Amino acid sequence: MAEELNPFKIAQEQLDQAAQIMKLDRQAHAILREPKRQLTVTLPVKMRDGTTKTFTGFRVQYNDARGPAKGGIRFHPAETIDTVKALAAWMTWKCSLANIPFGGGKGGVICDPKKFNDVEMENLSRAYMRGIASIVGTNQDVPAPDVYTTPQIMAWMMDEYSRIVGHNDFGMITGKPVEIWGSEGRKDSTAMGGMFVMREAAKALKIDLKKAKIAVQGFGNAGMYAYTLSKSMFGSKVVAISDSAGGVYDPDGLDMKKLEEAKAKTGSVQGYQSKNAKKVSNEQLLELPVDILIPAAIENQVKKDNADRVKAKLLLELANGPVTPDATNILFEKGVVDLPDFLVNSGGVIGSYFEWTQNVSGYYWDTPRFDAELDKIITQSFRDTMATQKGYADKKQKISPRMAAYVIAVDRVARAMKARGWY
């Protein structure tokens, strides 16, 4: 990975910009530039052929001044400690912006889960939990699913942790199946939160969502739900979507059933067929003539060399880190409203907060209550962000929505550290 796209360097650069804007205390700034704790573990895993392979795993606890660390676990062949550190930092700001009682954490294992069968996946999941068990728990660090991890994997990890501590501890991990006290509403909460943000942003920008054209980069959980929810909730037209192989664009709108059939038959949504459909690359999708662009795949997609070609009025970062700092500045100068990941995709961690709350209290909610509480919290986060941006504008200092969100989040964490006597 090129130095300028090192995800942790990007996270630090974003913090540095916010610190300068808000005149953050130097001591607080120094503490917040680095993770509080990082653990690297070697995981011996028995494979289907009887051999034992070793894998490297990470768990980073970035800051816990406001509560237990919180963050997902990724199984990915290109996982790095810098990626995990960056995501843990962003989780810190995400939880703070949402004003929920968590700090930030993240975990990952360098592996290719596509090559594992179910037994190997379970063996790896349990090995990882044994490796990190000493630093996680309901009141210490609460993991969750992320890239290539699932509710089933969370169930295995919860079971392994419960064996280690000698009692059931359902609240030590979130994103679990509902059979073992996962939360109704959690499955689509990342995209649902994004839709609530899209609704509020559309009001502010006077975008008619019934007439809006939307492009979604990513056909995973977040991207698929962004497609279905934007249509079912607002009647919007999704005209482009992509997966890792590429995408498809149809100005008349896409049909989910045909997309799923194309994916199943050809391995990619590029197999989609209709009268006006045409294949596009992931790069081309970002530059399509649409009202709303939703990057819902991986980091560093909108960069310095393509940001000026983004035609959307509103960019919703449903993925983690899809827009680089240079691109953020270009989009801002261009007038594109780029709403940051740790606002837009915070529905996932807010949903995890609800699951954790229910596990701790032993009192469980239905989906309508879950969605209503999510709407309340994430809508307030959006309004706080816009109000902070306007507050700086009124003082003749123009800042992007990302920097406004950073100022709020960093200030809350710094205040918590100050109150605790950390500096």
- Residue 4 confidence (pLDDT): 52
Average pLDDT over residues 279-299: 90
Q: In what order do the strands lie in the sheet with 246-249?
A: 278-280, 246-249, 237-243, 213-217, 292-295, 314-316, 337-339
Residue 101: how many other CB atoms lie within 10 Å: 12
CA–CA separation, 63 and 105 (whole Å) = 7
Q: Give the SS3 label for residue 54.
A: strand
- Residue 379 confidence (pLDDT): 98
CA–CA separation, 359 and 337 (whole Å) = 37
Q: Which residues contact 190 (CB under 8 A, 6 or more apart)?
A: 221, 222, 225, 318, 345, 347, 348, 351
Q: With pLDDT > 90 as the criterion, what percentage of the chain qualifies?
A: 78
**Least confident residue range of 45-59, 269-283, 331-345, 398-412:** 269-283
* pLDDT reading at 146 higher than 70: yes
- Residue 374 confidence (pLDDT): 97
Q: What string of DSSP letters covers 273-319?
A: --TT-EEE-HHHHTTSS-SEEEE-S-SS-B-TTTGGG---SEEE--S
- The widest CA-to-CA distance across the chain, in whole angstroms, is 67
* pLDDT reading at 219 higher than 80: yes
* pLDDT reading at 313 higher than 60: yes
Instruction: Grade residue 3 by pLDDT with cuts at 50, 70 and 90.
Output: very low
Instruction: Grade residue 312 by pLDDT with cuts at 50, 70 and 90.
Output: very high
Whole-number mean pLDDT of the chain?
93
Average pLDDT over residues 12-29: 95
Nearest to 143 by CA among 39, 298, 257: 39
Could you report the per-residue pLDDT of 126-137, keeping only the tens digit for each?
999 999 999 999
For 269, the enclosing helix (H) or strand (E) is: none
- Torsion over CA of 134, 132, 63 and 351, rounded to 10 degrees? -110
The residues annotated as belonging to the active site are 106
* pLDDT reading at 365 higher than 50: yes
- Residue 300 confidence (pLDDT): 78
Could you report the per-residue pLDDT of 56-115, keeping only the tens digit for each?
999 999 999 999 999 999 999 999 999 999 999 999 999 999 999 999 999 999 999 999
User: Domains in the chain, please, with CATH?
Assistant: 36-180 (3.40.50.10860), 189-344 (3.40.50.720)
Instruction: Grade residue 1 by pLDDT with cuts at 50, 70 and 90.
Output: very low
